[in-house]
Structure 1
């Protein structure tokens, strides 16, 4: 969706297609025994990346490798979470919404009253429910009506999860391209939501928010320890290894662990905490489906080349979790059908405010 989907499709030059194939071949280097659905994902990735290469060639220029990699010393993630002055401050409405989610007796009127205190959130949620994200047959013009149509827990989860995005505004652009980061995150959320609906597992809003926030640990690390975080990225790219593995090796923990710990500190619902915590390594005993949905959505989003989280390679998914999704090649095609258009619309609502 990096290009305007309303424009006529232009024929892509053969050299661009070849460059996309070469790039995708590298990105899939850690997928050793791809099944048919993974092979289809790689082909779909070539198509998506080739179109993006044609529209934005500057994104694909190889950066120079550092001659001398900076030393990285290990770190205790608890030390980061203790730096309250460096962490984003949660607004009051955020805290009230969390209480509403936790409260078993929260009514539609209660939730509408909380959200209506904040004109910005009110406007955002009305844009959201009236967008292609829901494709409702009628126009929703009040928060009370939105809560009634979407549901108390669903709208609460959506409001809390999406409001986190506004807390991260000062990550240096030279460290991480925030537009590409959020495109990857939104894409992962939309794919997790689609997987939820295809498999009949989990809750669509929870799956979307879990996918949206899965890499929040990256932002915390870049915000509180920019030099360390940048150095780890340099090590991973120079050594051609998975970023998450290099984080664990050099720091002693990875961004998934840090992100899960942060959401726990913020008293997020447990299912969102575990989805973020386990999105690289889901536990086989996990009963909530959202961690598994996000785990597979991450693989698909990276394989398609949607945005960039800083991770260059497609991480091999857990075989049992991947198989449980029932992703045939045809179903993979269904997964990505009209995804660019949905991603463009969701990104417009979520980011371009």
Structure 2
């Protein structure tokens, strides 16, 4: 099957909850306000509890307790709150594609680690709306589960290959990399372009060279596999010439990214998982 057919398989197997679409509609409606967003979320006690825990986590580090959805909207902002709802939904999506071919808890940890590393890096270099990188980091490898579910034999062949970087092996075996498929799925879910576009073109070297969002996310992904799979990727180049062209970061910042992600990933992951 082609990339588009696998994307259709994924979107037919799992659709975004109605709450995601409704919040998006409210955000895009110039006549709506923060109270409308708060009312939508507050009718779901479970979602409310998770969002408040995330709002009070290391993701934001607010000096005062965020104790209501209304306060969360006012201090975080509607877009950031929407991103948290999508991040919470991602866990449900992962479970929808659960397969014995992949250890779901390890896959989830890797995804959250990428999200934490990307958000911290984005905030450090001063990119506005850095919270969106947490969502893109989580979702960029969703399609690994999709492929393992849809093509277990082919996926097993991919796993058994050890030569080269993961996205290089994916491209050679499937004809596309998993991030490109994840971005296409996100686009079909009608997520905003700032979420799906950097994922869709994550491994496009030309876009890494010219677009900071993509270079940053690619760097965070490389940091993740270096830290979580050191036996295979301890020597991976974090700043390829393409990434370095649009992302200038000192070694000390990367060390801080790693410290932050190592310390906080398990805590934030447990709030959603």
| TM-score, normalised with respect to structure 2 | 0.88
Gap change, CA 1:204 and 1:214, over 3 Å in 2: same
Following superposition, the deviation at residue 94 of structure 1 comes to 2.1
Match of 2:120 in 1: 194
Judge conservation of contact 1:126–1:142 (CA < 8 Å) in 2.
Answer: yes
Decide which structure has the larger Cα Rg and report it.
1
Unaligned runs of 5+ in 2: none
* Corresponding residue to 1:216 among 120, 132, 142: 142
Following superposition, the deviation at residue 249 of structure 1 comes to 1.9
Match of 2:78 in 1: 152
Unaligned runs of 5+ in 1: 1-74
Following superposition, the deviation at residue 311 of structure 1 comes to 8.7
Task: Kindly report which structure 2 residues correspond to 1:105-184, keeping only aligned pairs within 5 A, or say none.
Answer: 105-172=31-98, 174-184=100-110
Task: Tell me the secondary structure at the aligned position of residue 222 of structure 2.
Answer: helix
Judge conservation of contact 2:205–2:242 (CA < 8 Å) in 1.
Answer: no
User: Matched residues in 2 for 1:85 and 1:325: separation?
Assistant: 33
Gap change, CA 1:86 and 1:232, over 3 Å in 2: farther
Gap change, CA 1:112 and 1:204, over 3 Å in 2: same
* Corresponding residue to 2:6 among 50, 66, 80: 80
Match of 1:348 in 2: 270
User: Matched residues in 1 for 2:92 and 2:167: separation?
Assistant: 25
Following superposition, the deviation at residue 297 of structure 1 comes to 0.4
User: Matched residues in 2 for 1:138 and 1:254: separation?
Assistant: 42
Match of 2:255 in 1: 333
Following superposition, the deviation at residue 213 of structure 1 comes to 1.1
Judge conservation of contact 2:209–2:244 (CA < 8 Å) in 1.
Answer: no
The answer to which structure has the higher helix fraction is 2
RMSD of equivalent CA atoms: 2.8
After the TM superposition, which segments of 4 or more aligned residues of structure 1 sit over 6 Å from their partners? 310-313
How many matched pairs?
Answer: 273
User: Is residue 294 of structure 1 aligned with residue 217 of structure 2?
Assistant: yes
| TM-score, normalised with respect to structure 1 | 0.69
Which gives a bigger RCO, structure 1 or 2 (Cα 8 Å, sep 6+)? 1
Render the CA deviation track for 1:117-147: whole Å, top value 9, x for unaligned: 3222111101111223222222222111111
User: Matched residues in 2 for 1:141 and 1:149: separation?
Assistant: 11
Judge conservation of contact 2:209–2:243 (CA < 8 Å) in 1.
Answer: no
Match of 1:226 in 2: 152
